[in-house]
Structure 1
Amino acid sequence: MRRLGVFLLAAILFFSPIKSALAASTTGAVYYGFEGYKLLLNSVKFNDKIPAWSYRDAVRVTALSLLKGVGDGKFHPEEKISREEAIAIALRLAGKEADAQKMLDQKTAEYYTNMIDSSEWAVGYLFTAANEGYIIPGDIYTEEWKSKASREEFAAYIGRALGYTPAYGMDQQLAYSFDDSSLFNRDYIPFIEPVLKDGIMVGNSRGTFNPKGMITRGQVAVILGRILDKYPEKFGITKMKATVTGIIHNSTDYIMRADDGSSFTISTDDRRGIVVLNNSSVTDGLKISQNVDIYMKGNTPYLIEVLGNEKVSKSIQNGEVISADKGTVNIRSDAGERSYRITPYTNITLDGKRVSEDELMPGQYVSFTEEYGDIVELAINGEVENPGYSEPGRFYYSGSVVEIDSGHILIRDDSGNTNSLPIPSYVSVNVKPGDLVKAYLNNDGTVSSIEKVEDNMEYAYLYRGRLSSVVGNKLQLDDAQRFDNFRWSDTPSLRLAVSREGQIYDDNMPGSDVQSYIGDYVYVITRMEYGEEMAYRIVVENGHMKEYVDDIDSVDKVAGRFTLPDTDVYIGDGSVILKDGKMVTIDSLERDQTVLTLLDRMGSSNVAPLVMVLDSQPAVRIVWGRIDHINSTTFEADKMYELNGNDWKRVSDLGELYISDDTYIIDRLGDATVISPEEFLNDRYERHPVYENEYFYAAMDGDEVIGMVIFGNDNSDDIRFVTARFDSMSKNSLANLTDMLEYSSFTDKWAPGPSKGYVWTQDALVIKNGRISSMDDIKNGTQLYILLDDSLNGLLIVCGEE
């Protein structure tokens, strides 16, 4: 048997070149790389610093010739564009560049005769713009076209080039909503209005548009990037999504699979190649399993952008290793026994740690992801007691929770890879983004249970101050302040031990010795490590740092950036995102969240070393509604709402809410009384219609009610939702609070309340760690989420981080 295996291996090695050569012929269309790719690649390897908020668009518009370079290998993002450049960009967008080039030959003599104040290259564009109605013909000879273009002028040209219907009269709304609308040239507004409505250009957080301000090349790149994303056909570009499924011919030809399932090949060689934009760098190669956007002109790929590492059309399988040889592994799973290829790009882990394929041995229980016969990811479970027996629920996938949505949980492991695991409806999920978990799997790849890793480090506070000394592993901050519930508050001189995993960042780059920054102003993020508060991340203030507290306009999770009303923000390797006491990824950011963003506005960084989500949200689901029909183990809810972010959102699919033997129920229809689940539920012998049609608040674990408060339907409007920190407990169940915030639906904001407040807790339902608790178990400084009435009686109190 072994001799036969050797013979087969030799045969495979002998014939493998022929198989690779034939692969291209079986993958549909063949697209050849761009002949001038080397020059193009050099043109987008800019020698100057490009701000992160405009880098991606600067590369894209330059590579696709939407914005011309200046010929010195630099992009010059801060350089203001001229009026003649603005017209040329607009005509290029409108597909009139060929007309402009022809016009240049006809009008060169007229240029010299009449001394038009423009560059010679721009003459054809000016006359074409006059013919197309962009400018008045007589202005060609009287205007200074080399002068700088204004924002309103550029917006009006773009509006014409995109072919928008001009807006007049009552349709002119957005332009007149700006505080500086009186500064607009009224002739421009009909073409600016649709540009604003389509989101191609925006104002700033101060409520102004700055119509007379100059516009830079970096800003133009972002504007053209938005147009490219919405209307690539305007530039004569076809954009398609695909996944790299194979590499052949000495790593120069790429087998691609399009979203529609079809396959094709991108062929390259020394003369014809590709330009690849991958996050913050450009290169000329791709890797297996990368998801990409391909920008085509005709049948030629001019630019390929890597979108991320998530795989498409993947399914996680479990099985037992039967045998393993170099480049091959045989696995027995529910699909039977099959042989899979191990490639140089296969990610193999043992209990979450990256290992080589030499660790594969017969009898191991593994979870793996296969694409087109190749193993993309393979996780070995080293904790199975009987490795020859694949027991359901014994294998687990560990990592940090990224997202929970639509019956799936997305987990990122230590290697940075993500897996989306399906969760059956009967599995209880009481974790949130940022939690470290073990997701135990059934043989079909579904989650059987989720275990939260208890020693997960949680962040404690954010401080700022002057670093005055470092002694041993302790640092001292003078003039220190702590950020808590939307505001900075003074704190005494602060000494903190530095975590072993602590890092210092200067200008978004890792620093070395903390001692070298004595005297500098710093931000310090602390976290609780086994009961002790320790400095985990130190960010040096470089003089250009600015704090933003604003709502997120949009999130681009693929590009790793989000937008605030006044700026774009990029998330880098050194960025820390804090939410609900956890360190999370950009996947947890959403539109309309309020965030504190620390941002360096100088140089090329624009990468946020810190983003803190300020939206107050309990760790468990909180719902309210009207009790409809009560059954033997469940009840039906009518007009049910769920606390979502800062507001109550109507729940469309109500379903049934389950009452268990452990559900804690308080009846507040009269005097507050604790009733048993049996007293609330109906069975065939006894019914309790007294509770039907009454209103309730409930803390939920999935569809199961942890605890609920029943109250009369005549006082639901008196209930308020606040967040605060627990300070101390006085007599008669009076809880003293600090840093109280109350949500205003009128302003859609959390507003600071009095510096000290209180709430009566004697009849409150208290939830801690997703279970029924009491105020005696709440530590000083704990974040609380409280539902209270106008008499400051607490109905429901949920414990946050301590």
Structure 2
Amino acid sequence: MKKISIVSILILSLIFTSFSSIASGSTVYSGVSSASAIFLNMSYADIGSSFARNDIMRMTGLSVIRGNGNGLYYPTNKLKREEALAMILRLMGKEKDVQLAQTSRNSNPTAGTSSSGQVDSWAKGVITVAKNTGLLSKQETSLDFTQYATRQEVANWIAKGINLSPVYGKDAQYVYSYKDSSLFDADKLPYIEATIESSIMSGYNNGYFGPNDSITREQMAAVLSRAFNVSYAMMGYTKDEGYIEDIERDNVDGGVRHTYVLKNDSGQDIALVAESSPNANYDFVVLKNGKAGLSSIISNGDRLTYYTNGSNVIFAETANSSLKTISGTIDSIWQGSFRLVDDSGNSYVINYNSNTLVTMNSVNASIDDLKFGETAKVTVYGDTATEIDVEYTDLSSDGQVNTGDKQDSGKIISIDVSGGFEYVTLDNGNTYTLNPNMPVEGTGAAISASDLKVGEYIKLYFSRINTKMPDEIFLEDDYNKPVAVIRGSIAGVSGFNPKVQLNDVEMYRQGQWNATSSYAMYSLDGASVYLDGSKISVSDINKYKGYDAYIMLENHYGTETATLVSIQSGFNMSYEGSIDYNGNTMSITLSDNRQVSINGGTIILRDGLLVPKDELINASQAYVSFTRGGAANFISILDTSAPSGYYYAKGNIINVTADSITVGNYYYYSGNEYGDESLNNNEWVANGDETFYVGDKTYIVDNTGNNPVNVPYDEFLKQKYRAANYSSVYIVASDSNAIAVNIRPLSSTDRVSKAVLSSSSGNVLTIDNVMDWNGLNNKWELNTSLDSIDVTKAVIVKNNKVVSANDLKSGDNLYIIRDGALGIVITVQQ
């Protein structure tokens, strides 16, 4: 056992005591003793004119590439296969394995070769490890590794080395976009596609990729630099970013210690420490504005990207940017970024973080105060805002402003109705009072505030600062709009703007998961990610390759974006039926008494919208996907509202007067069913004769011919639709007042269903969560085969008046009387 001297202990004690006094409460990373050697290695004499100059220095500083030991890199030299593989293995964190394999070969020259091809003696360990790690296929082991590597070989090896998921079949598109795609080796195509998709390699400007062209050392440095952004964790590095807030200089033990104090983008206090003294000499290399140096080139205010390994900082890079000021209108806001449009129409996507100072008319405010449509002056460093000042119009004495100067926006988390008003609460905690009849803009359909649903994203505009009642409501249809719930096996995360990669992707629809593609990628813009109910970071997704993920996809300005990702580690089960939610225990009880817990990662869908867990309180039926003995990862609430105030009848016309229509008890069809039946508990019940009042707002349509014919009431009287002509009708009424009369043959096979509108095209409604009423079992049952309704010969009633299919909007709850896939009566339930 080694002895540690008291002097050594005292020195260590002094060092840690000094650190704690310098950076109390901070996470401290110290430099490394090899910083000067790393800096020397980066200082190549022949890369001044290289397009990849920064990439070469960056990859050298991070120990991915090496020079030839004479201060030269030879950037335009072509790269041998063995050299390319050596670089890729370093990128994979396998350099130690290569050294051990090489040592083993040197000590036992008679050992069997790892390759039947030609290889230089220095690279035999490289080929051994490349083969053992699966980087080389069996066929490739016979290559001449002293020959130049081709671009497609490098693309193939890079993808394998950093664990990009291969892209197969119809999902491989990029490789076929090149004019020389026929030159790709078929066995390499899936990995080459993955490399191109991840923006690690691309083709030439002339539309060719050059699969069999050689690659130069500077080109390889650029490729490795982009791959490193995805794979740095394989080398044991951790990456972080922040702004330098202070630089402290202390005299210690006859030397100097510099502490670079910064706050990272997560709001944590960080201290990067370099020291030059008789007892300690450590530092870290920095790349700033295209120049390499040690930490002393860092300045206050620098935006720093730094890489750590354990408790050491190895390398840092400053953003090659300067401060600038942009004024304009906030056009869109996302988590962590917003879009600003200036007076000339130029658009800027700007990031913000916990360090961004926000003011309103120079008064301190917060990020949450940023709203769509506000005018702002933004101080930007690179693409990140350091200061944002929102400019309000000067208030009048009574608080009056121009409509829109005060705004709020967010996702609706609850709607309460009381005293003739709707009280809508947004996900930012603010509650507003709406008149139910107030029109809502943005969807193209004629809708009012009473049509709003929990889970929708709205913008509110005010003409007074202190009011809670908006003047205008806008329903956002391009951002935050639900697309689908999908599931798949995690293949990884790739790209500078991270995207989750999935294999075997399926989409949920009406209680079933339908395969959509073998491979897909989705943006993770502002996504919340959970593992078995515990929140994790987006970067942690890579740790759970092969796990199943349930994902809520939403439309973010034309991009299908994963906004909620629920990763599960257990065996999955599903259930469809009645549920009982307990808000105290955060669990639901199934009809067989099994209990399933709910957490922040549970995707809850109602009417096609992502809703909070409180929506489960009033839910009685649902589809539930959950891990055995664990939590729910996805719930689709199947309840839709019961008929709200409408009365439904069908029968033969007995009589028509100046203000009424009587539907009566005449036999029809085979004579064993009676006319005039009304819906009671979703089933037709015979009532005898019934009279409904008809007025000038009653909609009457004749659907006895090939095409619908609107019938004005005076014409209706003249044409005498009555028993003598065997005319029959379906009627929608409010109390005894007829809203709509559909003249058409009665059906003995009509069914009562309810559904959620997904979309409409002409007279065809695409519907989801279709439930049919089962009178024998006295309950609603999921219909997994019906996904659309033809409403050409139907009457559609919404808000007590007849509307067209174009007046419906996605998410509407529909109560449907249908004959097969042909609609007869459709009412929109509130």
Normalised-by-shorter TM-score class: 0.3 to 0.5
Q: What TM-score do you get using the length of structure 2 for normalisation?
A: 0.38
Q: Which structure is larger by alpha-carbon Rg, 1 or 2?
A: 2
Q: What TM-score do you get using the length of structure 1 for normalisation?
A: 0.39
